[in-house]
Copies of this chain bind each other. A is one copy, B any other.
């Protein structure tokens, strides 16, 4: 069994000490939020994650899902766990109270969902996708759709999916071919979709598929794609289930990881067309999808944090128990945690998990402020920040998650390569996170194009200014933070120089594209440093009473000493090395 204990202290540190509950409590509908409430929610969630979901993680991995006919059976125990999950109200935590949600801020929901993903990432994907469907229908669905679907989805009685990919249309959705023919109040959908997470399963009686398709007269490319809600079972006016819709799961994938999560090939309209309902406006489906994609991308970034946390806990436990060799200066054989290189690996894991967690929470706060703050300027500013941070959280956290999961295997030595140990599962599960919901390359393109160049660097400069403000506050907190201050300050300088370089070269799109992933990793690494500066400031102010704060100082020092130097390599590769990439003749590959 893979064990997991929610890192409640680090979660509450970021939410209550670094961010501060007061920043939530000023938001509309969050007036009741307090440290006590946060602690209570996190503690309950932690119990559920450890007690119910973690024990099923390896079961899901070993057993996987089975397709029989067109029914997908989830692994042993998953139906009960899902029912308990809904029963406990975890589905509706951050959902709109108008449709039965509990209305908690996304920041708290992010910490809670991180626990699901650490305990059992394959399980966590089910509510993750449902959330996306809920957002799409809430933001773009008409009243009828909202009335018919939202309450059931929010309660978790039904689940939702996102149907984007087709064999010829992956990162490039302009190539979508699935068709939608208008038929009065609905449309008939025909086509095949692949890589549909929880596209079919036995956890609930109905599934609402959000499907991208083209109308007959739609223009070519991305401006001719519309979004449809296509239920597995049609829903009668009284809310009861009606006929089975003309859609089915054709096969499920045999994957490297997340075996407990069925990845379906879905066929729509084998018998004339699946009934679907337009969500939002015709031909604006991709834009509507993007509004839900920010949340989904943030959620995948959170998976990177989560699988990293789980891998770290697992490796640390092993390193404290495993006796091997003598550490320098030790009189007897040592637990391997005492060996300097094992310390280095574990701290590389810990400090980066903490850095990615903090940034993920800061980004979630931006979403909350953008949605709920009374001041429109504050909302707009937060929206810019959320938009800017989303691709960084998504791609950097998942790249880091994979590095961390790989180190988790390494700390285990030969035992890490044996599946029974469990370290390998984290490594396999983590591997999808840099791919789905837009690869690291796609996120990086978004960061360069839409998030940096389009506004002439305004949002990034706002971020850089906030970082420098944090550094001023850190400097004021005393000399104990000087090493962190100076290292992060150098990182911020690097990031700023690279932003200038990008803006100066904006006329040549090849250059920005060649630099994009290095730029994203630089931005992530420096944002991580910023989070470390914030943690250092808080920990210095807190004093010595709680040893947890000493651990935060140690993480920050380590991050600055061992991780932040990568920023220099990235800057050099961008500024001096992008032209080599851009001008490469592919015949030479």
Contact = CB atoms under 8 A, between A and B. Distances in A.
Interface string A441-464: 100110000000000000000000
Nearest to A510: B328
Contact of A513 (B194, B316, B328, B346): B328
A512 to B, nearest CB: 9
Contacts of A566: 566, 569
A419 interface: yes
Given A165-B414, A325-B171, A434-B410, A573 B562 contact: yes
Contact of A558 (B256, B436, B516, B580): B580
Contacts of A557: 580
B509 A418 contact: no
What class of interface size applies to chain A in its complex with B?
Answer: 35 or more
Contacts of A171: 324-325, 413
Contact of A420 (B254, B346, B413, B436): B254
A340 interface: yes
Interface in A503-552: 509-510, 513-514, 516-517, 547, 550-551
Given A339-B441, A420-B254, A554 B427 contact: no
B589 A343 contact: yes
A318 to B, nearest CB: 12
Given A172-B325, A513-B340, A569-B565, A417 B441 contact: no
Contact of A338 (B436, B570, B586): B586
Contact of A577 (B350, B418, B513, B561): B561
A410 B439 contact: yes
Interface string A392-425: 0000000000100010011001101111100010
A435 B409 CA distance: 9
A48 interface: no
B580 A572 contact: no
A424 to B, nearest CB: 4
Contacts of A509: 328-329
Contact of A406 (B165, B347, B402): B402
Interface in A345-394: 345-347, 350
A255 B255 CA distance: 16
B417 A586 contact: no
Contact of A568 (B256, B514, B572): B572
Contacts of A168: 323
Interface string A555-581: 101100110011111101100110011
9 nearest interchain CB pairs?
A561-B577, A340-B513, A565-B572, A569-B569, A561-B580, A341-B441, A340-B514, A172-B325, A565-B569
11 contacts: A165-B414, A170-B324, A172-B324, A175-B324, A256-B418, A340-B582, A409-B435, A562-B577, A565-B573, A566-B569, A568-B568
Interface of A: 165, 168, 170-172, 174-175, 194-195, 253-257, 316, 323-325, 328-329, 333, 337-347, 350, 402, 406, 409-410, 413-414, 416-420, 424, 427-428, 431-432, 434-436, 439-441, 444-445, 509-510, 513-514, 516-517, 547, 550-551, 554-555, 557-558, 561-562, 565-570, 572-573, 576-577, 580-582, 584-589
